[in-house]
Structure 1
Amino acid sequence: MQLIGIEEHILTPEVLQAWHDLGLEAQDPSVAFHGGPIAGRLMDLAQQRLALMDETGMDMQVLSLTTPMLHDLGAESVDLARRTNDLLAEAIARHPERFQGFATLPVSQPDEAALELERCVKELGFTGTMLCGRVGEHNLDAPFLAPIFQSAARLKAPILLHPRMPSPAVRQAYYSGFHPELDVAFAAFGLGWHYDAGIQFLRLVLSGTFDRLPDLQVILGHWGEVVLFYAERLAAMDRFSRLRRPIADYLRDNLYVTASGMFMPHYLERALAIVGPERLLFSTDFPYQYRSGGDARQFLDTCGLEGEDKAAFAHGNWLRLNRSLTI
């Protein structure tokens, strides 16, 4: 059974250098995570990556620039995004049976980002884009970012909404006071990343983004970035939201959910109950969650899904979503 992972990351030396030139480590300490063996795996778009895919049982990866992407860069990100996307397109052309791509966007320049997304979908054959939370001090529902979401909806290009480090003020208020290493872990992969991504999705819902753009599709990793586990509490906001539909409808109609290497059947069961079998996607969060021993294939075999539902989770839902792209 074909197995496609849709949250699988890359990094380029040029982007890494741009982060360092900006001094981004001072604002976002997760930049330091991209060193050592992880950096080698992120930057490899050839044989080493393919070998690890084979070892874990993955047939195809949908590649995306890792967080924090280009969100903190200014006008210089326009050309950098184009070069990053062209490099990724070249890697896909070398291995079209193994790789697809999410567009890297110059998100601080929304009009240019909308055009770059269109180029990536229509000319490079990419399958959507990835965003990673705030743009500077702005949440994703900020009106000036609307061109990006309008372009994605028009193209029917899904947006993978990826975690990023909370702002320094939030880290100081909620994730500090232990020791530096623990503070960073708590604010990042321990919990902060996931709250941040889930909140960004909910802000899109509550701001009426999906009422204005009903065709817009968003993907949340890590089994819904905590959001799905509080669906009942979220529904209590229906009395005050002034939205056109109950919040539960947006979870079923505008959200896809993927595993991100968190291979836990009881999390899958919760996602299945909220969004349904046609909105589950597979991913391994390579290279961060990579584990040897045929890990991805073993989870597919033991996840509890059978027949058509298993095939949909492994590849069918993603292929169906791709077919809706306006190319």
Structure 2
Amino acid sequence: MRDGLIGIEEHWIHEGTDRAQRALPPDRRDDSLLLNDHGDVAQQLADTGGGRLAAMDAQGVDVQVLSLAPPGAQGLDAADAVVLSRDANDQVAATVAASPGRFRAFATLPLADPRAAAVELERAAGLGLVGVMLHGRTGDVLIDDPRYDELWTVAERLGQPVFIHPQIPPRTVRDVSYSGLGDLPDLAMATFAWGWHLEAGTAALRLMARGVLDRHPALQLVLGHWGELLLFWHDRADGLARAAGTERSITEYLRENVWITASGMLDPAMLRHALSVTSPDRLLFSTDHPFQRPSAADIDRFLAEFVDPGDRAAFASGNARRLFGITD
């Protein structure tokens, strides 16, 4: 059954960035940091050594592509974000170098300084990092803003895939749409239950509508959680492409520029729907470590949903090897 497993959404924590995020004043602090403290999550995030390798072995995961846990460096002042992103990328590159058979990593970027973000992506690629994970908004600036065009140019030229990870909605939106249920239900609704996924899907949709993928047709995006709802709404969203006058439909962008990962949601119904919209060569395995913890048995049961052995092998590791250039 197993053809090797590469998990491409597997999180870690950088102490300096985490400390800086928690030191922000309450009106700027990301409340989803609370989720990083649940149970033993903080301990698991901090461990990029023996404990993590043991967890991978127990699941049968051969390689993790490491990415900084949300909110990453976004939301920090530009000067802090530049320094901390660089340090995080140096640290995770050293982790990969120490265990090259088990780890790869995404870059963290200081999006508060768009020019510095483009420069850091180029530097991170030189360190051997295989892509970038970012969020759809830094303060009030969305990633489809023209000031990020240099970043997309660099990502396209270097063949660095861009993983758009969910983030908590703006506080004004939360006050209107995600409040009144109680502190914990409000946070759940604004994050993993709903709001996170609308934010990530909207960020990707805006990149398409803004023409970013027309100007950078080779740019490759990655969306978690089975496409952050876009695969379920692609036909309706095609109307946005017609209204915006883009070169292709939303469905075409999803099929040609977007890769979809499971994020530990090993639901056969999700798989079947994804395959009704996109192709098996666009699907990627992940566990969303340590927030989701499927067992080896859970993973094997899910892999059995693939009737074609070639499709199963592609999902398990082949597509990730091709997208991220993982050769060993």
TM bucket (normalised to shorter chain) is over 0.9
Partner Cα distance (2:27, 2:318) in 1: 39
Q: How far 1:306 sits from its partner (Å)? A: 2.2
Q: How far 1:193 sits from its partner (Å)? A: 0.2
Partner of 1:141: 144
Contact 2:238 2:251 in 1 (8 A): yes
Q: How far 1:309 sits from its partner (Å)? A: 0.7
Structure 2, unaligned runs of 5 or more: none
Q: How far 1:247 sits from its partner (Å)? A: 2.0
Q: How far 1:116 sits from its partner (Å)? A: 1.1
Does 2:90 match 1:77?
no
Partner of 2:236: 233
Q: How far 1:298 sits from its partner (Å)? A: 3.6
Q: How far 1:237 sits from its partner (Å)? A: 2.9
Instruction: Flag the 1:297–1:59 CA change in 2: closer, same or farther, 3 A.
Output: farther
Does 2:261 match 1:247?
no
Q: How far 1:314 sits from its partner (Å)? A: 0.7
Partner Cα distance (1:314, 1:283) in 2: 9
Which one of 153, 156, 159 corresponds to residue 159 of structure 2?
156
Q: What is the letter of the counterpart of residue 191 of structure 2? A: A
Partner of 1:92: 96
Q: Could you tell which deviates more after superposition, 103-112 or 190-199?
A: 103-112
Which one of 258, 264, 267 corresponds to residue 264 of structure 1?
267
Contact 1:130 1:160 in 2 (8 A): yes
Structure 1, unaligned runs of 5 or more: none
Percent of residue pairs bearing the same amino acid type = 43
For each residue in 1:186-211, what CA deviation from the matched residue of structure 2 results, as whole angstroms up to 9, or x when unmatched? Answer: 10101000011000000000000000
Q: How far 1:293 sits from its partner (Å)? A: 5.1
Instruction: Flag the 1:22–1:305 CA change in 2: closer, same or farther, 3 A.
Output: farther
Q: Could you tell which deviates more after superposition, 182-191 or 34-43?
A: 34-43
Contact 1:255 1:275 in 2 (8 A): no
Contact 2:96 2:105 in 1 (8 A): yes
Q: Secondary structure at the match of 2:72?
A: coil
Partner of 1:10: 12
Partner Cα distance (2:30, 2:10) in 1: 21
Q: Superposition pairs for residues 39-50 of structure 1, below 5 Å?
A: 39-50=42-53
For each residue in 1:250-274, what CA deviation from the matched residue of structure 2 results, as whole angstroms up to 9, or x when unmatched? Answer: 1111100000000011111111221
Instruction: Flag the 1:258–1:5 CA change in 2: closer, same or farther, 3 A.
Output: same
Q: How far 1:112 sits from its partner (Å)? A: 1.2
- With normalisation by structure 1, the TM-score equals 0.95
For each residue in 1:115-158, what CA deviation from the matched residue of structure 2 results, as whole angstroms up to 9, or x when unmatched? Answer: 11111112x11110001121111111011122222211111110
Partner of 2:56: 53
Aligned pairs, number: 323
Q: How far 1:22 sits from its partner (Å)? A: 1.7
Moved over 6 A (4+): none
Q: How far 1:24 sits from its partner (Å)? A: 5.7
Partner Cα distance (2:29, 2:22) in 1: 11
- With normalisation by structure 2, the TM-score equals 0.94
Give the RMSD, CA atoms, in angstroms: 1.7
Partner of 1:211: 214
Contact 1:57 1:295 in 2 (8 A): no
